Amino acid sequence: MDFRLEFIEFVLANDILRFGEFKIKSGRLSPYFFNAGLFNDGLLLDRLSQFYAKAILDSGISIDMLFGPAYKGIPLVSGCAMALARAGRNLPFAFNRKEAKDHGEGGLLIGAPLSGNVLIVDDVISAGTSVRESVALIRAAGAAPCGVAVALDRMERGSGALSAVQEAQMEFGIPVIAIATLDNLITYLRDQPDFSVHETRILRYRQEYGIENIH
């Protein structure tokens, strides 16, 4: 099975991806909800990190190091660095503080110095604020943001015609690597007869709010 479909199977099995009726940040009623906060034990984080590593290696983009925006990006970038090292790509990583430290080593950044092509590792892209702040930090250090890796791309329009992922790609000129997309979820559901009712509702939602896949 393709790792993207394996990821869908994994998050469904652990109730991280759920079906129902959920009011999301945009105010829309979504037929599914992805709760990245539920990757909350060692085994789940380790498995998630392996999926990130597969998606990053599969992308083929040139990466010199990893960066995780505080706070959710901190465990993600740490786990991702370990998974990539086990896969034969040992990369340095760093993350930021929300507020600069004025004692000890000081500064906003912890970890390896930002240099070369830096991949941002986060859970999702919603408003794009985290990506914007990360790009500014990376560029201020003289390094180059080369992409963003996220767990799930909902492929859903924001306030305009583009999704948050598309907006990030256009604004910063960097690719967004998603472990899986809404289209991958639909593909998975088509082979699961027990989930047919969810597929129908998701397809309707996709038709109303979705965007075309530009990856």
How far apart are the C-alpha atoms of 197 and 129, rounded to whole Å?
35
pLDDT at 104 over 50: no
More confident residue, 9 or 196: 9
What residues does each domain of the chain span?
3-209
* Residue given tokens 């086990």 in the structure block: 86
How far apart are the C-alpha atoms of 182 and 210, rounded to whole Å?
9
- Extended strands (E) in 91-168: 93-101, 107-111, 117-121, 144-153
The pTM assigned to this predicted structure is 0.90
Q: Which pLDDT value is given to residue 211?
A: 85
Phi, psi (rounded to 5 degrees) for 26 = -70, -10
Taking the alpha carbons at both ends of the chain, their separation in whole angstroms is 20
Q: Which pLDDT value is given to residue 26?
A: 78
Give me 133's structure tokens: 């702040």
- Three-state secondary structure call for residue 62: coil
pLDDT in tens, 141-175: 999 999 999 999 999 887 788 888 898 899 999 99
pLDDT in tens, 105-124: 547 899 999 999 999 999 98
* Average pLDDT for the chain: 91
pLDDT at 215 over 50: no
Residues with catalytic function: 101, 103
Q: How confident is residue 55, by pLDDT bands cut at 50, 70 and 90?
A: very high
User: Which residues, listed in sequence order, are joined to residue 65 by a DSSP beta bridge?
Assistant: 118
pLDDT in tens, 90-102: 999 999 987 665 5
pLDDT at 76 over 70: yes
What is the rounded average pLDDT of the residues 66-89?
96
Phi, psi (rounded to 5 degrees) for 82 = -70, -40
User: Which residues, listed in sequence order, are joined to residue 94 by a DSSP beta bridge?
Assistant: 67, 111
Q: Which pLDDT value is given to residue 85?
A: 98
Q: Which pLDDT value is given to residue 49?
A: 98
Which class is domain 3-209?
Answer: alpha beta
Q: Which pLDDT value is given to residue 158?
A: 77
CB-CB neighbours of 29 under 10 Å = 11
More confident residue, 201 or 161: 201
Q: Which pLDDT value is given to residue 103?
A: 46
What is the rounded average pLDDT of the residues 49-76?
96
More confident residue, 21 or 194: 21
